[in-house]
């Protein structure tokens, strides 16, 4: 009888524990900019460690297929919160998407161009007349007009070739394309594959350094769920600050949730991400803080290429940033 009573009490306790999050947690559908990698480790750590749950959030992390898709899905409310580079966000808002950026991740734009030196290309001015291969939804295509203008070559001076992300290097090595684009946080993979034959230039080197990956929220969701958005931002800030100092548990959480990834590769990826996250604003004003003047300058670079201009000041906010949490130097 005592044994049966103990079982019933234990079962009741388990049911009670299970009922708490089911009734009290806010469901968040969060879409990444791409498939999970080292740059996403803090989100997985925040989920695995219970940080999101403790803040009253039930976060579903969804794999992405490019910043443009993440911006589009978030803009129409298919996802509550997303992760995307700001240029595709500008483009999505210009098409009518309802988006507000609430936290910056990459203080520096991650985009760069890669080529083989043996192809004869010496720098960006030599891109004219060449073939650039990347996916049709790639954010680099949104940046191209401004980049080409700054370099001094025509926007239509190159031919775009549709290449899937996992085929970029093979296409470059085979010569079926002359140039490709990629995030700086996988720079080491290009170096390993191309060695001394690797050519590289960042967008930043030619004055194209808009804010990169940022956490964006569907406007309607934000207006109805400010408390949940505030909690998501603060937990994410804490997770990024923690992972910047303690990479191992964050990489472990990433690998536990995404089989097939390699510890060494994702740790290197995360190390490069920390470089992208670090600037004067993130280390002094707050991790994730968006400088208004820089945001407006970033928008101004791309305004001529948008379907419809808009008031950018209405589409980003530092309201939820805890300025006591800073990027470690």
Q: Tens digits of per-residue pLDDT, 19-37? A: 334 458 999 999 999 999 9
Structure tokens at 207: 């004055």
- pLDDT score of 23: 52
Residues 203-244 have pLDDT tens digits of 989 988 899 999 999 999 999 999 999 999 999 999 999 999
> In which band, very low, low, confident or very high, does the pLDDT at 183 lie, cut at 50, 70 and 90?
confident
Residues 48-89 have pLDDT tens digits of 999 999 999 999 999 998 899 999 999 999 999 999 999 999
Mapped to the 3 state alphabet, what secondary structure does the chain carry?
Answer: CHHHHHHHHHHHHHHHHHHHHHHHCEEEEEECCCCCCHHHHHHHHHHHCCHHHHCCEEEEEECCCCHHHHHHHHHCCCCCEEEECHHHHHHHHHCCCCEEEEEECCCCCCEEEEEEHHHCCCCHHHHCCCEEEECCCCHHHHHHHHHHHHHCCCCCCCEEEECCHHHHHHHHHHCCCCEEEEEHHHHHHHHHHHHHHEEEEECHHHCCCCCCCEEEEEHHHHHHCHHHHHHHHHHHHHHHHHHHHCHHHHHHHHHHHCCCCCHHHHHHHHHHHHHHHCCHHHHHCCCCCCCHHHHHHHHHHHHHHCCCCCCHHHCECCCCCCCCCCCCC
Cβ(214)–Cβ(101) under 8 Å?
yes
For strands 131-134 and 99-104, give the pairing.
unpaired
- pLDDT score of 121: 97
Cα(first)–Cα(last) distance of the chain, in Å? Answer: 62
Question: Is the domain 26-108+211-314 a CATH 3.40.190.10 member?
Answer: yes
CATH number of 111-206: 3.40.190.10
> In which band, very low, low, confident or very high, does the pLDDT at 283 lie, cut at 50, 70 and 90?
very high
Structure tokens at 249: 């548990």
Residues 106-162 have pLDDT tens digits of 999 888 999 999 999 999 999 999 999 998 877 788 889 989 999 999 999 999 999
Domain boundaries, the chain: 26-108+211-314, 111-206
Burial class of residue 73 in the structure, from the number of CB atoms within 10 Å of its CB (0-12 exposed, 13-18 middle, 19+ buried): buried
Structure tokens at 209: 């350094």
- pLDDT score of 158: 97
pLDDT > 70? residue 5: no
**How many degrees, rounded to 5, is the angle at CA 52 between CA 258 and CA 24?**
125
pLDDT > 50? residue 248: yes
The distance of Cα 109 from the centroid of its chain, to the nearest Å, equals: 10
């Amino acid at each position: 009888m005592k044994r049966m009573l103990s079982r019933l009490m234990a079962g009741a306790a388990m049911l009670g524990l299970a009922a708490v999050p089911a009734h009290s947690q806010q469901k968040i559908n969060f879409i990444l900019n791409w498939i999970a990698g080292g740059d996403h480790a803090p989100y997985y750590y925040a989920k695995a460690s219970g940080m999101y749950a403790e803040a009253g959030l039930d976060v579903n992390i969804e794999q992405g297929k490019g910043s443009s898709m993440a911006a589009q899905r978030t803009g129409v409310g298919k996802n509550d919160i997303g992760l995307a580079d700001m240029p595709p966000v500008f483009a999505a808002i210009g098409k009518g998407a309802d988006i507000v950026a609430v936290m910056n991740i990459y203080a520096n734009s991650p985009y760069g161009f890669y080529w083989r030196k043996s192809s004869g290309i010496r720098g960006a001015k030599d891109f004219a007349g060449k073939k650039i291969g990347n996916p049709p939804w790639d954010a680099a295509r949104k940046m191209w007009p401004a980049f080409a203008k700054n370099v001094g070559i025509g926007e239509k001076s190159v031919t775009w070739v549709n290449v899937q992300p996992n085929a970029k290097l093979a296409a470059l090595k085979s010569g079926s394309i002359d140039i490709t684009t990629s995030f700086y946080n996988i720079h080491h993979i290009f170096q390993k594959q191309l060695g001394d034959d690797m050519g590289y230039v960042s967008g930043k080197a030619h004055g194209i350094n808009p804010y990169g990956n940022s956490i964006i929220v569907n406007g309607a969701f934000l207006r109805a769920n400010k408390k949940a958005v505030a909690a998501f931002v603060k937990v994410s800030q804490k997770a990024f600050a923690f992972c910047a100092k303690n990479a191992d548990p964050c990489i472990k959480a990433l690998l536990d949730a995404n089989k097939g990834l390699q510890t060494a590769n994702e740790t290197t990826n995360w190390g490069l991400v920390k470089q992208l996250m670090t600037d004067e604003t993130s280390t002094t004003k707050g991790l994730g803080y968006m400088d208004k003047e820089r945001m407006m300058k970033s928008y101004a670079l791309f305004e001529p290429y948008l379907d419809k201009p808009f008031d950018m000041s209405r589409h980003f906010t530092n309201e939820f940033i805890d300025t006591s949490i800073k990027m470690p130097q």
